[in-house]
Structure 1
Amino acid sequence: MQLPNPLKTPSFLQKLQWVADPVRYMEKAAQQYPDIFTGKIIGFGDTVVFVNHPQAIQEILTNDRKKFAAVGKMNKIGEPLVGEYSVALLEGTRHKQQRQLVMPAFHGERMQAYGQRICGLCTKVFNQLPLNQHFLARNLTQEITLQIILQVVLGLNEEEKLQKLKHLLPQMLDLFRSPLSSSLLFFSFLQQDLGAWSPWGKFLRDRQQIDQLIYAEISDRREQNDSERNDILSMLISAQDDTGQPMTDQELRDQLMTLIVAGYETTATAMAWGLYWIHQKPLVREKLLQELDTLGDSPDPMSIYRLPYLSAVCNETLRIHPVLMFSFPRVVQEPVELLGHPLEPGTVMLPSIYLIHQREDLYPQPKEFQPERFLERQFSPYEFLPFGGGVRRCIGEALAIFQMKLVLATILSRYQLELVDRRRERPERRGFTLAPASGVKMVIKGQRARQQETVLTPFSLSPASY
């Protein structure tokens, strides 16, 4: 059967392009076929239909489990990182049960409880920066998100455990920091344990050490049974399904690794992109500072979270540079027609977040950073979907957006930063994400004058810190 608009490039070359430069691969294909095309890529089977039209994406996401199903094995490529019981890999009833157990940790009062700690951790990291010395914004945002993961998600307070994981987690995840090293995930024949000196062998040993620390923490926490703790690990330990059963240790480990892998890379990258665009566009920065100043000297985190222009800046950051390139792949379950193309059962569909966010008919001048577009128009969840959609929408979305807003607001309110290089940042594959290729080189010039006496959070700056 003829699939929609198959690309003519040889299969092997398509796969190499997809791994090495996915943005160029998608944009070149979309120039020929702006709505739907069939590609030969690696990671989701041999043949995949990319969907780039909001009507078609709506059709797919509103028919989850019916015409189109999210099949966990499509994400098998991530199993070495997150484990076989990860909510990202489960299907059907098991997926629904695990998702219901995890979701309550990311809503309502829980977010408010995390807010002041997030602002404080951000301040602590930035206070350690020397003045007038270049740094990579992405390294700093990674440090902030890592601290949030260790303290808010895992609830670690013991210094020894905290320092061990602080060292091991970035060491393991940074293995996939470039398109070349990311190929370890896409080409299984490269996954050979040739000893601690080999890339995959080192990854396995780092993962083993991380697992030992996580399982030890789970065991300690079960014994403590402290109902006063509000970190996400403690909530997951106490969660029970409809039959009264808690998660097993392995299920807990795999859900934690899913949250760590997703939250560390994606949120840090989104915040780095945000810092880049805010400082690349002086008028955006000025307007954002004016809005932040309206909150007075001691805004609470929820007031920051609700700011409309800050929300627009974050949305436009996630629009122009979505960290994730595509939503969860779906598999056709019964003969259907999509945009006039007949599809047979077994066809793999890949809703393209990147390409839908670059459509000229939805976002005029899509390569331009224009936060105002999110104040002037309400986009549907099939036109703007940085966290995917349907039953596979990202579980950590609420925490990610909350972090992004609070961290950007804290940095802008307190510090004067400048870009070292004003040339346009280029998105580059970093594992499963699209990150700024140069890491966003910046310099801190000092503390923002208006904020010298302001306390944004309970963590105040001492004179010795700047």
Structure 2
Amino acid sequence: MQNNLIETRPIFATLTEQPSSSYPPIVKAPRFWQLLQWTFRPLEFLDNCAQHYGDCFITRIGKAESVFFSQPEAIAHIFSNPELFDSGRAQQALKYSLGQSSVLTLDGEQHRQRRQLLMPPFHGERMRNYGDVICQITEQVTHQWQPRDVVTLLPFMNEITLEVILKVVFGLSEGERYQQLKDNIAQFLKIGADPFSYMLTFFPGIMQDRGPWKPLTLFLKRRQQVDELLYAEIRERRARFDPNRTDILTLLISAKDEAGDSLTDQELRDELMTMLLAGHDSSAATLSWTLYMLHASPTAKNKLLNELASVDDPTAITRLPYLNAVCSEALRLRSAGPTVAVRVTNQPVKITGYELPANTVILPCQYLTHHREDIYPNPRQFQPERFLERQYSPYEYYPFGGNNRRCIGAAFAGFEMKLVLATILKRYLLELAEKPPISAVRRGVNISPKGGVRMRVLQRL
């Protein structure tokens, strides 16, 4: 039996072999060079493309060809007409980690039903119940920080977000399985964060099981170890089902779709892996970026500290207007990835004057949209006040995607982000231990701060 990281079917449209005046401009650089740039200097690559080719362009990254869009008009057309696009079949590489039945790899009615099933645990009172847990985890992970210590934020933020997933999503906080799962997940995620591993996903032929030579041996081993632990936990939780538990796994075990059917063990496993991979490193990177931006902007930091000073209740904290503006601005400048969910046209479409055939891969690029001078004056400056002065449309600001492909965990991610930031800022007085700017580097599909952001602890509060 072959293990393929990327399914080679269906075949996507190849625009550069049949250029047309109705197609967007093509980035004129060798394919491998574009892949290197996209892997190791993704933001600089996008900036250069936008400068030379405008709001829309075709890249040739490895064997893949994609059309990038950043105009709000184009984003509105893509988000407002979901029936014209598929996303699951455009994300074949994800199936190898997430499985065949993840909400991210489904399309059509299957996707709609699964999304409807998954939404409730991430909203309303159920989500707010997790506030105290998030604050406690943050305090426990950072309790070792002492005055004069120099700490690298990203590993601590990774530990916080992993603990949140283990406790809030998986419902695990102690015991042998908890420790084994924590250790194996950390090793599994480390493999996926390597930029060279990311590069290999663009070469389907390399990523196959070729008998004794297995490029993915370590990846497969770690995935199998994580799977065995997850399936064991799922079986045990079914056998000893406790309706009083509030973790998301328990809620999903009891959930039923419109036909009255429950998720199978494999579907549960796939959704747990989706929440893990979508919500761990991305949230950690965003938290690190936000703390960096705040401490590089003393006026914003002091304004936020004043707002936080008189509030302790987690629910009240998450409603603070300036904290919300800080988080929104940080996500504008550095959302986890430079693009949102890839889509592929399922029929010929016309977007901002460009006529694209069926099976064209398109990428809404929030990084470029969020750095448009015509929407965000001084777009490279950290200015939280802009989110107090104006409400942006979902086509001008979309760090979590849009419409039927908007991240299901977006509300939870924002909730977690605000509570972790507030807990750290109310406990520690910090300063940057390195001079800005800090450059961005790739960690898998995400964009993280190079070096992880080094901070000096000045005082415990």
TM-score, normalisation: structure 2: 0.92
8 Å CA contact 2:146–2:460 kept in 1: the answer is no
Q: How many residues align structurally? A: 441
Structure-to-structure mapping, 1:334-349, within 5 angstroms = 334-349=347-362
2:332 maps to what in 1?
Answer: 319
Structure 1 residues 337, 421: CA separation in 2 closer, same or farther (over 3 Å shift)? same
8 Å CA contact 2:427–2:460 kept in 1: the answer is yes
Gaps of 5+ in 1: 449-466
One-letter code aligned to 2:421: L
1:198: how far off?
7.6
Q: Does 1:61 align with 2:74?
A: no
8 Å CA contact 1:70–1:328 kept in 2: the answer is no
8 Å CA contact 1:194–1:201 kept in 2: the answer is no
Q: CA–CA distance in 2 between the matches of 1:256 and 1:239?
A: 14
1:269 maps to what in 2?
Answer: 285
8 Å CA contact 2:86–2:346 kept in 1: the answer is no
Structure 1 residues 136, 195: CA separation in 2 closer, same or farther (over 3 Å shift)? farther
2:55 maps to what in 1?
Answer: 35
Q: CA–CA distance in 2 between the matches of 1:443 and 1:80?
A: 40
One-letter code aligned to 1:75: Q
Q: CA–CA distance in 2 between the matches of 1:369 and 1:195?
A: 52
2:6 maps to what in 1?
Answer: none
Q: 2:102 aligns with which of 68, 86, 95?
A: 86
Q: Identity of paired residues, percent?
A: 46
8 Å CA contact 1:21–1:179 kept in 2: the answer is no
Gaps of 5+ in 2: 1-18
Q: 1:433 aligns with which of 437, 446, 450?
A: 446
1:153 maps to what in 2?
Answer: 169
Structure 1 residues 160, 195: CA separation in 2 closer, same or farther (over 3 Å shift)? farther
One-letter code aligned to 2:165: I
One-letter code aligned to 2:162: L
1:453 maps to what in 2?
Answer: none
1:46: how far off?
2.4
Structure 1 residues 197, 265: CA separation in 2 closer, same or farther (over 3 Å shift)? farther
One-letter code aligned to 1:385: Y
Q: CA–CA distance in 2 between the matches of 1:414 and 1:270?
A: 20
Q: CA–CA distance in 1 between the matches of 2:148 and 2:183?
A: 27
8 Å CA contact 1:381–1:389 kept in 2: the answer is yes
1:26 maps to what in 2?
Answer: 46
Q: 2:392 aligns with which of 379, 383, 396?
A: 379
Q: 2:437 aligns with which of 424, 441, 450?
A: 424
1:213 maps to what in 2?
Answer: 229
One-letter code aligned to 2:356: L
- SS across alignment from 1:368: coil
Q: 2:187 aligns with which of 164, 171, 190?
A: 171
1:451 maps to what in 2?
Answer: none
- Range moving further from structure 2, 387-396 or 158-167: 158-167
Q: CA–CA distance in 1 between the matches of 2:366 and 2:239?
A: 43
Structure-to-structure mapping, 1:451-462, within 5 angstroms = none
8 Å CA contact 1:20–1:179 kept in 2: the answer is yes
Q: 1:394 aligns with which of 398, 407, 410?
A: 407
8 Å CA contact 1:6–1:38 kept in 2: the answer is yes
1:422: how far off?
1.9
1:52 maps to what in 2?
Answer: 70
8 Å CA contact 2:64–2:202 kept in 1: the answer is no
1:355 maps to what in 2?
Answer: 368
1:134 maps to what in 2?
Answer: 150
Q: CA–CA distance in 2 between the matches of 1:199 and 1:317?
A: 37
8 Å CA contact 1:175–1:199 kept in 2: the answer is no
2:382 maps to what in 1?
Answer: 369
Q: CA–CA distance in 1 between the matches of 2:212 and 2:297?
A: 45
What are the superposed Cα offsets for residues 412-459 of structure 1, whole Å, 9 maximum, x if unpaired? Answer: 0111112110221111111011111111011222212xxxxxxxxxxx
Q: Does 1:8 align with 2:24?
A: no
Structure 1 residues 163, 193: CA separation in 2 closer, same or farther (over 3 Å shift)? farther
1:224 maps to what in 2?
Answer: 240
Structure 1 residues 84, 291: CA separation in 2 closer, same or farther (over 3 Å shift)? same
Q: CA–CA distance in 2 between the matches of 1:49 and 1:89?
A: 20
1:122 maps to what in 2?
Answer: 138
1:19: how far off?
2.2
1:199: how far off?
6.5
- Range moving further from structure 2, 384-393 or 191-200: 191-200
- Range moving further from structure 2, 2-11 or 263-272: 2-11
RMSD across aligned C-alpha pairs, in angstroms?
Answer: 1.8
1:16: how far off?
2.7
8 Å CA contact 2:349–2:355 kept in 1: the answer is yes
Q: CA–CA distance in 2 between the matches of 1:180 and 1:268?
A: 21
